[in-house]
């Protein structure tokens, strides 16, 4: 694999036309697989339930019709159908709510909505980090560059499993397939190393933003990719020096490069010292799941 691989993703195409596969140098593309529902059970949790999807849609229809009418259809469906896991600042589950509500700055500020999230950092066998540029249709932080995959475990049994952050790792495997077309076989859940957790708040624009308790997952694998243009505009592998140049350009406002706030926080606080452990195969030495780092 070259030291810098970049793939430009087509913005739109007919669903009847097969998407082009992107192959790594060391791994052939594998077809997406179906996921069996987890047979593991979890103990009942007393939850503080939020507004139903129907009531949220009603509120949106009444107050936000014009704004929401411009939302991409795929993103709108995910905003209302996906239920994020609400937690307190100690990462205890307190309820659930739609992705829509969890990303409205008005609700984040008025109700202190905090949801669980994850950020995947995937390295190839050359120890290059895979970055993605978020699609132009994303509701929050469109077209910014970020780490390999950033999303949320959902309020479902398989992604609520607390032991060894298995629910979060299950969600990461699911979203790597959804966003980048990386098959589950290429990213086994047992191969993720959960290095730590950060808590941050970041507005995206005047309306949307993030308030997340974010699990940081590292994995070293050569994978096949088939990026989803509804989620991803571009992807590239970078080494340390290339990432430092991207960071310099983002800070200088050059070439229109912007970084997601959570990625910037990880880069500035942890990433380069953790990169040493990636290359040495000693990631577990860097893991700290007892601390929740509150970053601004």
Q: How far is CA 188 from CA 106, 157, 222, 223, 247, in A?
A: 38, 19, 12, 11, 30
Could you count the other beta carbons within 10 Å of the beta carbon of residue 3? 11
Residue the block writes with tokens 């990386």: 182
Contact 146, 135 (CB under 8 A): no
CA 290 to mean position of chain CA atoms: 22
Contacts of 284 (CB under 8 A, 6+ apart): 193
Contacts of 139 (CB under 8 A, 6+ apart): 71, 75, 79, 103, 204, 208
Query: Looking at residue 3, what DSSP letter applies?
Result: S
In 143-197, where does DSSP find H-type helix? 166-180
CA 261 to mean position of chain CA atoms: 12
Contact 216, 117 (CB under 8 A): no
CA 149 to mean position of chain CA atoms: 4
In 64-135, where does DSSP find H-type helix? 65-69, 73-81, 99-102, 105-111
Q: Whole-angstrom Cα distance, residue 246 to residue 237? A: 12
**Catalytic (active-site) positions:** 150, 212
Cα R_g (the chain), whole angstroms: 19
């Amino acid at each position: 694999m070259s030291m810098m691989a970049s793939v430009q993703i087509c913005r739109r195409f007919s669903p009847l036309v097969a998407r082009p596969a992107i192959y790594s140098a060391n791994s052939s593309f594998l077809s997406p697989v179906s996921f069996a529902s987890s047979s593991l059970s979890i103990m009942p949790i007393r939850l503080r339930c939020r507004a139903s999807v129907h009531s949220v849609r009603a509120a949106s229809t009444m107050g936000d019709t014009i704004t929401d009418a411009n939302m991409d259809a795929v993103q709108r469906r995910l905003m209302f159908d996906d239920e994020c896991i609400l937690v307190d600042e100690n990462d205890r589950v307190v309820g659930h709510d739609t992705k829509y509500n969890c990303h409205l700055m008005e609700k984040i500020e008025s109700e202190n909505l905090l949801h669980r999230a994850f950020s995947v950092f995937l390295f190839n066998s050359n120890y290059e980090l895979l970055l993605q540029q978020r699609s132009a249709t994303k509701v929050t932080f469109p077209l910014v560059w970020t780490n390999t995959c950033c999303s949320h475990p959902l309020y479902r049994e398989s992604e609520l499993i607390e032991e060894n952050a298995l629910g979060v790792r299950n969600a990461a495997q699911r979203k790597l397939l959804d966003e980048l077309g990386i098959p589950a076989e290429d990213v086994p859940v047992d191969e993720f190393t959960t290095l730590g957790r950060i808590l941050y708040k970041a507005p995206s624009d005047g309306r949307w933003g993030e308030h997340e308790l974010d699990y940081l997952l590292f994995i070293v694998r050569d994978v096949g990719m088939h990026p989803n243009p509804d989620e991803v505009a571009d992807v590239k592998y970078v080494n340390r020096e290339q990432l430092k140049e991207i960071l310099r350009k983002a800070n200088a406002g050059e070439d229109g490069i912007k970084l997601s706030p959570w990625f910037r926080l990880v880069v500035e606080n942890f990433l380069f010292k953790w990169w040493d452990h990636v290359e040495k195969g000693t990631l577990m030495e860097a893991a700290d799941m007892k601390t929740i780092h509150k970053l601004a």
